């Protein structure tokens, strides 16, 4: 694994660090990504399973698919990449974690104040009156109904065609603008507006590092590319910045 001393120097000097993560960060925990050859969107149709139209056409199918994913998330553990990102919070004077992941593995690894751009699959709410559903979703084989209004209960994730939570997006955008070091980790950078964040950070003067075994459509605009799995390279980076050479 090649990590230059120049990069370690830049990381060590940084005061305001922002990390954006995508599904690749959870791959080493055993959670499928979306767009890799064995990814979820190569096996399943996102319009059927991750859109309001799909939910209305076949609510039980959508509910069952989310329960299948919830079960996987319950069975797996955060990996060394998640733990390294959690530790970064204690290293830099200012640190912000923005994730597109809905699996809550960052929080389980000890990260605080995670900006969840795409929601999470554990929480649920009524599609009509938005009242949160507090029961265990895994106990429900069919779509539960809202106790207040009878509406269908849906997972608290952002579906295709839906807006991202406004406050979260504003916070993410602001932190990208203020970062002096920005990491884009384990994301294909195909889904907007999240994919804009590394570009915004770069435009506003941050040094932008991408960690991904594969190049993405934004690699060429960024400053440094580390072509390794995040669970391997992040602990290495921490080791290097913690050793005074």
Tokens at residue 237, please?
């980076």
Q: Which residue in the block uniquely carries the two structure tokens 């406050």?
A: 167
User: Nearest approach, Cβ of 124 to Zn ion (angstroms)?
Assistant: 11
The answer to the question of residue 27 lying near ligand OAD (CB under 6 A) is yes
The answer to the question of residue 126 lying near Zn ion (CB under 5 A) is yes
Q: How far is CA 12 from CA 65, 220, 227, in A?
A: 43, 24, 21
Q: Would you say 126 or 222 has its CB closer to Zn ion?
A: 126
Residues 179-198 touching ligand OAD, rule: CB under 6 A, are: 186-188, 190-191
Q: What are phi and psi of 88, to 5 degrees?
A: -60, -30
Strands, sheet with 119-126, edge to edge from the N-terminal-most edge strand: 132-133, 119-126, 153-157
The answer to the question of residue 121 lying near ligand OAD (CB under 6 A) is no
Q: How far is CA 237 from CA 7, 133, 187, 216, in A?
A: 9, 41, 19, 21
Binding test (CB under 6 A) with ligand OAD, winner from 17, 20, 22, 218: 22
How are the residues of the chain apportioned to helix, strand and coil, as percentages rounded to the nearest 5? 40, 20, 40
C-alpha to C-alpha distance for 76 and 68, rounded to whole angstroms: 13
User: Nearest approach, Cβ of 172 to ligand OAD (angstroms)?
Assistant: 13
| 107 beta partners | none
Within its chain, how far is the Cα of 120 from the centroid? 10
Q: Annotate each residue in 73-112 with x if it binds Zn ion (CB under 5 A) or - if it does not, as one string.
A: ----------------------------------------
User: CA angle 91-95-101, nearest 5°?
Assistant: 115
Binding test (CB under 6 A) with ligand OAD, winner from 59, 213, 227, 235: 213
User: Nearest approach, Cβ of 105 to ligand OAD (angstroms)?
Assistant: 13
Contact 59, 143 (CB under 8 A): yes
Q: Would you say 13 or 45 has its CB closer to ligand OAD?
A: 45
Q: Is 118 a catalytic residue?
A: yes
Residue 157: strand, helix, or coil? strand
Q: Annotate each residue in 149-168 with x if it binds ligand OAD (CB under 6 A) or - if it does not, as one string.
A: --------xx----------
Q: What does 8 interact with, of ligand OAD, Zn ion, none (CB < 5 to 8 A by kind)?
A: none
Q: Which stretch binds Zn ion (CB under 5 A): 30-38, 71-79, 115-123, 139-147?
A: 139-147
Q: Which residues are near ligand OAD by CB under 6 A?
A: 22-24, 27-28, 33-36, 39, 100, 102, 118, 157-158, 186-188, 190-191, 211-214, 216, 229-231
The residues annotated with a catalytic role in the active site are 118
Q: Which residues are near Zn ion by CB under 5 A?
A: 126, 128-129, 131, 146, 148-149, 151
């Amino acid at each position: 694994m090649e990590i230059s001393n120049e990069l370690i120097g830049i990381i060590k000097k940084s005061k305001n660090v922002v990390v954006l993560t995508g599904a690749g960060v959870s791959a080493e925990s055993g959670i499928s990504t979306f767009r890799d050859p064995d990814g979820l969107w190569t096996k399943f149709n996102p319009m059927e399973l991750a859109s309001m139209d799909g939910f209305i056409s076949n609510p039980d199918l959508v509910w069952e698919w989310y329960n299948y994913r919830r079960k996987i998330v319950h069975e797996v553990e955060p990996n060394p990449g998640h733990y390294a990102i959690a530790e970064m919070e204690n290293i830099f004077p200012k640190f912000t974690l923005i994730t597109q992941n809905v699996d809550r593995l960052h929080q389980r690894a000890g990260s605080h104040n995670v900006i969840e751009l795409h929601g999470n699959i554990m929480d649920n709410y009524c599609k009509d009156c938005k009242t949160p559903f507090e029961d265990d979703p895994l106990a429900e084989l069919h779509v539960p109904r809202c106790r207040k209004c009878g509406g269908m209960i849906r997972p608290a994730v952002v579906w295709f065609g839906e807006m991202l939570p406004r406050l979260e997006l504003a916070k993410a955008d602001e932190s990208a603008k203020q970062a002096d070091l920005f990491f884009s980790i384990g994301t294909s950078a195909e889904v907007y507006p999240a994919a804009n964040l590394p570009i915004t950070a770069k435009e506003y003067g941050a040094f932008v590092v991408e960690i991904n075994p594969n190049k993405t459509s934004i690699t060429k605009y960024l400053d440094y590319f580390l072509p390794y799995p995040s669970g391997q390279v992040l602990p290495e980076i921490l080791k290097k910045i913690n050793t005074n050479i």
